[in-house]
Amino acid sequence: MNNIHLRQTLPQVFADRDAITSDIWHHDITFCKGKRYLIEAASGTGKSSLCSYIYGYRRDYQGIINFDERNIRSLSVSEWGNIRRHSLSILFQELRIFPELTALENVLLKNQLTQHKKRKDIVALFETLGIADKIDVQAGKLSFGQQQRVAFIRSLCQPFDFIFLDEPVSHLDDENGIIMSRLLTEEAERQQAGIIVTSIGKHLPLDYNEVFKL
């Protein structure tokens, strides 16, 4: 996948509003593979909804979203499965961690589907992010910031053309944010992938090609 093209896209819940002030909603926007984008938003402006639409698990929007000029509404279930395994990765704002599984099991669950990373490389990511001592701890017993790092590692355990990170550093200190930024940059460069980050204030420190106000 080389581009994601939004054509006059708008959440249906916003349809009755008299005016929408946004760089994205009701515009023609193209996200290109290999570039880095920051979407800054106030709470309630549809930030997480945008990620949901592009990832394909919500369809309550007007307009068109295309992957390489194909309308995503036409994709079959099997095609979505293939795209989510090989082309799109996402770090959800709510993380979607399985609390009863250990931190490592949460990551391996995805990596078993993709076979993208070796176990030693996954363990090295835990070490780099300062949570090596939490590998065998149930994820539900971790702090939100620790869970954020687990979910981030999981998001790297697949091939992708684009990776979405919805408020990835909301509960991290600056040092861990810098580490996450470096790891993300290294992985995206290896895959020549695009990066799309959302933020309502504190954001991941990257050299962004474009910044949008949602």
Domain with 169 in it? 3-213
pLDDT of residue 25: 95
CATH number, domain with residue 40:
3.40.50.300
Contact of 154 with 103, CB cutoff 8 Å: no
* Higher local confidence (pLDDT), 170 or 37: 37
DSSP symbols for 119-167? HHHHHHHHHHTT-GGGTTSBGGGS-HHHHHHHHHHHHTSS--SEEEEES
pLDDT of residue 201: 86
Q: What's the mean pLDDT in 24-49?
A: 93
Q: What is the pTM of this model?
A: 0.94
Classified as helix, coil or strand, 19 is: coil
Contact of 8 with 28, CB cutoff 8 Å: yes
Render pLDDT for 124-141 as a digit per residue (tens, 0 to 9): 999 999 999 999 999 999
Which pLDDT band holds residue 42 (cuts at 50, 70, 90)? confident
- Looking at the DSSP bridge assignments, the partners of residue 102 are 138
The domain tally of the chain equals 1
Render pLDDT for 53-89 as a digit per residue (tens, 0 to 9): 999 999 999 999 999 999 999 999 999 999 999 999 9
